[in-house]
Structure 1
Amino acid sequence: MRRILLIFIFCTSLLADKKPNILFILADDLGYGDLSCYNDEAKVKTANLDQLANEGMRFTDAHSPSTVCTPSRYSIMTGRMAFRLNFKGVFTGVSGPCLITKDRLTLPQMLRNNGYETAMFGKWHIGMSFLDKNGDVIEVSEPPRKTPKLKKQEIALEAIKRVDYSKPIPDGPLNQGFDHFFGTVCCPTSDWLYAYIDGDRIPVPPTKIVDKALLPKHFWSFDCRAGLLAPNFKHENVDMVFLEKSLSFLDSHHKKQSAKPFFLFHSLQAVHLPSFPAKEFQGKTQAGPHGDFIYQFDYIVGKLVEKLKTLGMAENTLVIISSDNGPEVGTTINMRERYKHNGARPWRGVKRDNWEGGHRVPMIAWWPGKIRSSSVSQQTVCLTDIMATCASIVNTSLPNNAAEDSFNILPILLGQTTKAIREFTLHQTISLDLSIRHGDWKYLDHSGSGGNNYSGGRIKKALGLTNSKINAPAQLYNLKADPKEVNNLYYQHPEIAQQLKAKLEEFKTSGRSAPKRN
């Protein structure tokens, strides 16, 4: 009897020490107010996400690393703010190289070093190098902003036509720590290249320019470039293809390597423009095609979690769901005007802006038996924190030259602390304008939004707010007293503005905002 008891205790200890699976689900351009568990006025009921929030933890002060996708995704993968690269904008077409250099430790590489099988399905958008028939990297220079659309199209398509699709991509996801990848180079349905990458190659190359006359026409169907289309690429099917890949991976992993933990990064097209929900979701809501797209995103999350439960993996899987930045300008304006749905509610600003609506995003964490049900965290966190958190989960140390802006939020997830993990949090825009958060105070080291131009037109009427001291060189807000960032206190509290600017400069100069590691 004693021997049986000892064996039971030993096995229980092994189970307790078993490394958990990690599923990270990243939406594209999903706003804080797009989910019904965040916005009681949302026009789409996101039942699956609401249930996960009810069974797990909902963060009310979570932030994307940037207000646009490419830098946010770099920062998630590395735990490092992308402004440190001095890279402006986002990638399109076959432009590269990958922003992640060979010497930089990535989230999937760190997990793979600790025994994980790693997979990513969906949008990459951190840059890739493509080779021509001579094996030379295709250089694509970004045309000036005022370049005519037809000239931009000509430059982008010429580069895509030069690609030798038989040659491997030398700096894609498989070179950054992933064992498996299936997805797209950049934005799946709005880019110059409409083709799938499988591993490190595009097996079905593009053959013709997309016929936009065959695509849906509505208020959310813009932002679709006249790019080259592969025969197996259907705009409305993209997210269902990504879903099938993730579900197949989970089935295969359970069948072949169930004793090994996995890290799965499911990176969606939803809900980035154009809003092309799959046919089975069209008309599912009373909020138009974009509302249907939000509904489809919620469905996909539900199917991934359902698969975990079916395979008996749920009890040992941490699921984190978030977005790469706030909602798009046109999306938000049209949804507000036509359906009274505000994807940024209750914050000021949208995608590209350094105001809260540009980077405060929904974030839900679900881990049965570990994260307390119906818990809400008001702690300030950033998606850069995923890397240090995962390192803590697998009990490994990060070197000083990695994850320089990443904090371990595992104690928050496990309900082990109420003390602030982050004293300061950095934010950046597409133009590399910066801001810094400290408690209730937020200092923006620039005038204006840092992203969108609110000087006139529909955006000013629909999304603009009167801002005091608009001519001030910088902005200072107390988010507790002024969550909509209307009352600029730059001149009233110059000492706080100076202190925060000095701290921002310190973090820029030192190359890190997280403490040095031993």
Structure 2
Amino acid sequence: MKRLQSTVLTINGYVFTGESIKSFNNKWDIPKSNGYRTAMIGKWHLGMSFPEKDKGKNNVNWKGRIEGGPTDRGFDYYFGISASLDMPPYIYVENNKFVGECTTTKAFNRKGPAHEDFEAVNVLDEFADRAVAYIQNQTAEQPFFTYVALNSPHTPILPSPQWQGKSELGAYGDFQMQTDAAIGRIVDAVDAAGLSDNTLIIVSSDNGCSKAAKITAMEAKGHFPSAQFRGSKADIWDGGHRVPFIARWPRQIQAGTQDHQLICLTDLIATCAEAVGTELSADTGEDSVSFLPALKGQPILSTRDGVVHHSISGHFAYRVGNWKLVLAKGSGGWTSPKEDEVPNGSPQAQRYEMNDDPGETTNLYESRPEIAARLLAQLESDVKRGRSTSGPDQANDTDKIRLWKSTKR
């Protein structure tokens, strides 16, 4: 196979959170070390250290060098903001420097230092402009990897004036339409540069729709952002975790095809490694499995039994094929019933057959206890080994992992 020309990873919202940070932080150099030009545009939100005028006094030196950001983690170029758009400071960062200084205070949900010209409503278009400009400067002779972490549709929900009212679903619907248009501009830039045939473009998100979107109001108008799935952002149910995942690669993927194999966003690191022709070390991407075969219409070869995920409160779920075990009595998140709202005498956990019951309406935890016991044993093994794939055991980030948070075991 001819070498993959480029990858544009366009993320609708931030993506690498929780376990993903362990897998990806410090590993962005995989494409770079294999000859790819690398760039990141958008919200970082993985931690960076701001320079201080007086060490230990938390007074930022706006002219100093930022440490631990994207260009220290394997990217050749970076333009974006330090975290989510509702988290100060409200100022752009380019490579390892602030773009100007914060001389005033603003509040986009949270109050904090801000650049005088920084306006949250302009950020989405600015990121799209920067991504398009970067792609326009690429050529077929130099492979490149671009990670675009858009601020939308995360809060603050601020569609620009030309998009307001377009969706007829409120500000969130408008903001999502603007997000789709921004992604479309990036795709168009790849096409205009003549790079589309062998460029892999992935569009995804890190969680389900937030209640800040006013879900009930949208449902009243006939739009169900979680579709047939239960719950939303922060919950352990699939409405909080199952997200769109769209890939375009004309040389390999036939337009309009679908694949129903189970993958997780932590699989991106192993997929990128295989795509650029390298192997991960034993202590890298311990929970990552390459889904590159699926992009070619082939079965994914995996040594991983199940996928681990969590609610915002840290309640565990474990997915193996059609089975899902939830170590929580309720949503484990923001949707009722929350853990303290579940009636006394309810099962201590949940188990669902996802193919037959994607809405997680019928709790089968007590009907086939041997299945729940088997899933729990596999989860406990993964935690003990510090990995869910084959390979040498790895140390967990903490030895204080508590699988059961709502009941005593």
Q: Deviation at 1:478? A: 1.1
Distance in 1, matches of 2:196 and 2:214, equals 35
Q: Distance in 2 between matches of 1:337 and 1:480?
A: 24
- Cα distance, 1:468 vs. partner? 9.3
In 1: Cα distance, 2:385 partner to 2:122 partner = 45
Distance 1:381-1:348 versus aligned 2 partners, 3 A rule: same
Q: What runs of 5+ residues in structure 1 fail to find an aligned partner?
A: 1-15, 30-63, 80-99, 139-158, 213-223
* Residue 61 (structure 2) aligns with: 164
Q: Deviations over 1:56-89 (max 9, x none)?
A: xxxxxxxx7xxxx7427626xx35xxxxxxxxxx
Residue 438 of structure 1 and its aligned partner are, at CA, apart by 0.9
**Residue aligning to 1:490:** 365
Whether 2:268 is the aligned partner of 1:386: answer: yes
Q: More relative contact order in 1 or in 2 (CA 8 Å, sep 6+)? A: 1
Paired letter, 2:364: L
Q: Which residue of 2 aligns with 1:248?
A: 133
Pairing of 1:318-357 with structure 2 (within 5 A) = 318-336=200-218, 339-357=221-239
Shift of 1:439: 1.3
- 8 Å CA contact 2:43–2:81 kept in 1: the answer is yes
Q: CA deviation at 1:448?
A: 1.7
Matches of 1:342 and 1:249 in 2, distance apart? Answer: 35
Give the alignment's TM-score, normalised by structure 2.
0.89
Q: Deviations over 1:102-130 (max 9, x none)?
A: xx5x1x21110100111111111111222
Alignment deviations for residues 215-243 of structure 1 (CA, whole Å, 9 cap, x no partner): xxxxxxxxx22232211211111011111
Please give the residue correspondences for 1:258-297 in structure 2 after superposition, counting only pairs within 5 Å. 258-297=140-179
- 2:401 aligned with 1:516: no
Deviates more, 1:469-478 or 1:369-378: 469-478
Q: Which has the higher helix share?
A: 1
Runs of 4+ in 1 over 4 A off after TM superposition: 418-422, 467-470
Q: How far did residue 382 of structure 1 move?
A: 0.6
Q: Determine if contact 1:468/1:486 at 8 Å carries over to the other structure.
A: no
AA paired with 1:74? I
SS across alignment from 1:265: strand
* Counterpart Cα distance in 1 of 2:279 and 2:63: 39
Q: How far apart, in 1, do the equivalents of 2:359 and 2:119 lie?
A: 40
Q: How does 1:408-419 map to 2 (within 5 A)?
A: 408-417=290-299
CA separation of 1:455 and 1:479: change in aligned 2, threshold 3 A = closer
* Distance in 2 (alpha carbons) for counterparts of 1:511 and 1:438: 18
* Counterpart in the other structure of 2:8: 23
Contact 1:332 1:342 in 2 (8 A): no
- 1: distance between equivalents of 2:382 and 2:54? 43
- The whole-number CA distance in structure 2 between the counterparts of 1:70 and 1:416 is 28
Q: Alpha-carbon deviation of 1:429?
A: 2.4
How far the C-alpha of 1:286 sits from its partner, in A, is 1.9
State the identity %.
34
Alignment of 1:502-513 (within 5 A): 502-513=377-388
Tell me the equivalent position of 2:395: none
Partners of 1:482 and 1:70 in 2: CA distance? 27
For the structure 1 residues 361 and 470, does the alpha-carbon distance in structure 2 shift closer, same or farther, using more than 3 Å as the test?
farther
Q: Secondary structure at the match of 1:120?
A: strand
Q: State the match for 2:54 in structure 1.
A: 134
| Counterpart amino acid of residue 27 in structure 1 | N
Q: Give 1:292 shift.
A: 1.2
SS of residue in 2 equivalent to 1:472: coil
What are the superposed Cα offsets for residues 127-155 of structure 1, whole Å, 9 maximum, x if unpaired?
1222321345x7xxxxxxxxxxxxxxxxx
C-alpha displacement of 1:338: 5.1
Runs of 5+ unmatched residues, structure 2: 393-409
> Which of residues 354, 357, 363 in structure 2 aligns to 1:479?
354
In structure 1, what is the equivalent of residue 401 of structure 2?
none
What is the TM-score when the length of structure 1 is the normalising length?
0.71
The Cα of 1:333 is off from its aligned counterpart by 2.5
Give the aligned length. Answer: 391
1:209 aligns with 2:94: no
Query: Which residue is equivalent to 1:123?
Result: 43
Distance 1:470 1:442 in 2: 21
Q: Give 1:514 deviation, angstroms.
A: 1.8
Q: Distance in 1 between matches of 2:303 and 2:55?
A: 48
Whole-Å Cα distance in 2 between the matches of residues 206 and 338 of structure 1?
42
In structure 2, relative to structure 1, the CA distance for the partners of 1:405 and 1:444 (3 Å cut) is: same
Contact 2:136 2:190 in 1 (8 A): no
Contact 1:187 1:269 survives alignment (8 Å): yes
- CA separation in 2, counterparts of 1:453 and 1:192? 28
Could you report, residue by residue, the CA deviation over 1:341-374 in whole angstroms, capped at 9, with x for unpaired residues?
2211111011111100111000001001211221
Aligned-residue offset at 1:310 = 0.7
- 8 Å CA contact 1:371–1:413 kept in 2: the answer is yes
Does residue 301 (structure 1) correspond to residue 183 (structure 2)? The answer is: yes
- Change in Cα spacing, 1:502 to 1:451, as seen in structure 2 (3 Å) is same
Partner SS, residue 331 of structure 2: coil
